[in-house]
Chains A and B, each alone.
Chain A
């Protein structure tokens, strides 16, 4: 296992388009997290899953954002009708449920909305 992977690594899209990102966690990890990071800031929590259940979602997450983890393995994060303010690095992390603070991060997907 090479760790958490994310695809794509970079995405450039035009305002108003929909985008979808994928995250593959470490195989034995049952928790999966999504964070967003803008320039000069630390990662900001978006949502997390335990197995296939989405347990918490940030109030900052608008209804244009949706995340799924259908089989409790990989996860997708979709942003509909992208806006320039969505430009950021989107980070995925995974952990064991009994050690949720020890999160293993992926390399991130950098989104640029033009």
Chain B
């Protein structure tokens, strides 16, 4: 069974400080990992995908298969980063019916103080 664990329900940092939101997963195959974000009064939306290896809004995330982790990092947090962040996993088999079926973690509420 696939599982995503986000060990921190709440994370508070001050503006300009580095931030790291932790995500660990368990999956027997080759997974694809994602971060979704929900800002206050907005809908859940995709933030980034591990395969793309890009930086979105200053955030990056590296898939570490040895540690089965996909932590989200930003070197200098901004107040507008305050939101709920969800780590999610999908089967990496692009031809399979489960590709795109997302398993979400419990979420981490990030608060960036001025």
Give the B-binding residues of A (Cβ under 8 A): 3-4, 31, 33, 40-45, 48, 55-56, 91, 93, 95, 100-107
Query: Which residue from chain A places its CB closest to the CB of B32 in the assembled complex?
Result: A101
The answer to whether B43 touches A106, judged by C-beta atoms less than 8 angstroms apart, is yes
Complex: A4 Cα to B43 Cα, angstroms:
10
B44 within 8 A of A: yes
Identify which of residues 47-85 in chain B touch chain A, using a CB-to-CB cut-off of 8 Å. 49
Residues of the B chain whose Cβ atoms lie less than 8 Å from the Cβ of A44: 104
Task: Count B-side interface residues using an 8 Å CB cutoff.
Answer: 23
Which 9 pairs show the lowest CB-CB distances between chains A and B?
A100-B100, A42-B104, A105-B44, A105-B43, A55-B97, A43-B104, A42-B86, A42-B107, A102-B46
Complex: A73 Cα to B109 Cα, angstroms:
34
Of B32, B45, B90, B97, which one neighbours A104 at CB under 8 angstroms?
B45
Closest CB-CB distance, A52 to chain B, in whole Å?
15
Q: A105-B43, A106-B43 are in contact. Are A45 and B100 (CB under 8 A)?
A: no
Residues of the B chain whose Cβ atoms lie less than 8 Å from the Cβ of A3: 43
